[in-house]
């Protein structure tokens, strides 16, 4: 993804509350372009694999339950310095700590039900994009 793309997920809390369109519009207004998108409900196995890095954390089981509770919306977003720019745009993990105007301050419910996911490095953005999208989908979006 050459550093210009990141993987976002509109999580089940925000999707089920009908906030997906508002969140995408908010991000587009900040210069992000949607390059791939789908609506899906994660299986337990998918959620466990996606969040495997958090397997030993006390919130892991609750996080898997939440992320499989309803449909979510993985997105590939493009912008210069996409990973950093997107993390700035979404704000801190806990909406209570997120700056005004960030996606989590505007749309998240709690530290767990925090509306959106964002990759934390270019390497993970690439890996996470491939988790949700085929080579053909990622190539077609170029």
Minimum CB distance to ligand CMP, residue 51 (Å) = 6
- Among this protein's residues, is 26 annotated catalytic? no
Can you tell me whether residue 15 is helix, strand or coil?
Answer: helix
Name the residue with tokens 């491939």. 130
Phi, psi for residue 118 in degrees, rounded to 5: -145, 140
Q: Residue 111, interface with ligand CMP (CB under 6 A)?
A: yes
Residue range at the interface with ligand CMP (CB under 6 A); choices 38-46, 70-78, 111-119, 128-136: 111-119
> Hey, which residues between 52 and 81 contact ligand CMP (CB under 6 A)?
54, 59, 63
Closest of 119, 109, 110, 134 to residue 50, by C-alpha: 119
Q: Which of 24, 117, 119, 128 is catalytic?
A: 117
- Tokens 């994009």 belong to 129
**Interface residue list for ligand CMP (CB under 6 A):** 54, 59, 63, 93, 111-112, 114, 117
């Amino acid at each position: 993804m050459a550093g210009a793309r990141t993987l976002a997920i509109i999580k089940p809390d925000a999707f089920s509350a009908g906030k997906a369109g508002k969140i995408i519009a908010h991000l587009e207004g900040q210069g992000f372009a949607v390059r791939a998108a789908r609506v899906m409900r994660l299986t337990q196995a998918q959620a466990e694999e996606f969040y495997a890095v958090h397997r030993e954390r006390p919130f892991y089981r609750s996080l898997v339950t939440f992320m499989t509770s309803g449909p979510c919306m993985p997105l590939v977003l493009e912008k210069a310095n996409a990973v950093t720019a997107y993390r700035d745009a979404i704000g801190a993990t806990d909406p209570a700590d997120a700056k005004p105007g960030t996606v989590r301050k505007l749309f998240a419910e709690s530290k767990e039900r925090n509306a959106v996911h964002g990759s934390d490095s270019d390497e993970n953005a690439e890996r996470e994009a491939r988790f949700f999208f085929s080579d053909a989908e990622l190539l077609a979006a170029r």
